Structure 1
Amino acid sequence: MGEIIGYARVSSAGQAYDLQAARLEGAGASKVFAEKKSGLDNDRPVLDSCLQYLREGDTLIITKLDRLARSTSHLHGIVEGLIKKGVGFKVLDDPTLDTTTRTGKLVFGILASIAEFETALRKERQMEGIAKAKAEGRVGGRPKLVTDETVAEIARLRHEGLSIRQVAAQIGFSKATVQKILTA
């Protein structure tokens, strides 16, 4: 039998993960990885370390789903990686999410199907939005700020003797943008 490893996360510096860690240890975790990072943050080094630490036969436990993943598809990716490594997964606040049992595996399979469905719907809506924008003559991206008129205005102001800093302040661009325009 492998180790039970816990993962705890809070979103901000003002919060504490002590309660999560205590619950995880109470559930048998011999080691708890804990970090203060937003769940939306793609860079979570402690989570990465935790996932690398896990070995075949281990079980990863968390208190709530939102402590681990940003979305259903993100959760699916993490748990799929755990399953490939032979690592179990349990959620203390939701006992149906336990890949060490047949029922838990079934529930996870359903969640995975929902994640796949959500991804397909999102992609379909995105493609519809792009098609509609093209039909209306719009193209993606932000509107272009550097126009022929602004280039001419920058050249005129510079010719009048204004410094690059003064030109940038008057036009509302950064000094670097003004310099790039002048050297182009």
Structure 2
Amino acid sequence: MIVAYARVSSLGQDHSSQIDRLQAAGAEKIFSEKQSGLDKDRPELSAALEFVRDGDTLIITKLDRLARSAAHLHQILELLDKKGVGFKVLDDSALDTTTRTGKLMFGILASMAEFETALRKERQLEGIARAKARGETGGRPKTVDEAAIQALKAAGKTVPEIMKVTNVSRAAVYRALQSSTGAV
């Protein structure tokens, strides 16, 4: 059986063109949803992966409709492989695990993705080490002028008054005051 999955990222988008193409490619059952690819919980994708059986083929129009990342794609393909399910991407005929060449391509892509992840992690750790050597702690730069908040408090201003003058939240004012004295 040919099973298909279609997805668009937002409610304002339409996936009818994807569905038309999937039907033209022979899809007998189509799972579709309007949900961001970054969402971890995509019920229709989960349902499609649960539905497919040995001998089925899962098809999609474009690779980015399926997975959040290369690692996620690899995870999905591993699940499909364990279930004996083939996988095809209509917009890229080389990505077809029902053929020997397609399986080779996915193996190469998975290896490259794993290699790139390792390189990225290595570069990230090197950058963190360099920043620490320069005395930088990382994180977002402070946007609150703690000295100004402390000066206003020393001048007798109340927390609501300080909030109004500095245009920062109550929590930020209290954090600034606490950092100077250890208590508010």
TM-score, normalised with respect to structure 2: 0.81
Q: Distance in 2 between matches of 1:49 and 1:33?
A: 8
C-alpha distance 18-80 of structure 1, shift in aligned 2 (>3 A)? same
Aligned residues: 179
Name 2:147's counterpart in structure 1: 149
Unaligned runs of 5+ in 2: none
Distance 1:14 1:39 in 2: 15
Deviation at 1:15, TM superposition (A): 2.4
Shift of 1:42: 3.8
- Percent identical among aligned pairs is 59
- Aligned to 1:105, the other structure's residue is in SS state helix
* Residues 45 and 173 of structure 1, relative CA distance in 2, 3 Å threshold: farther
State the TM-score, normalized to the length of structure 1.
0.81
After superposition, the Cα gap between the structure-2 partners of 1:88 and 1:74, relative to the gap in structure 1 and judged at 3 Å, is same
Please state if 1:87 is matched with 2:85. yes
Aligned-residue Cα RMSD (Å) equals 2.6
Mapping for residues 83-162 of structure 1, pairs under 5 Å: 83-144=81-142, 149=147, 152-153=150-151, 155-156=153-154, 159-160=156-157, 162=158
- Structure 2: which amino acid aligns with 1:110? I
Residue 36 of structure 1 aligns with which residue? 34
What secondary structure is seen at the aligned counterpart in 2 of 1:57?
A: coil
The equivalences for 1:1-80 within 5 A come to 3-80=1-78
Distance across 2 between alignment mates of 1:119 and 1:155: 48
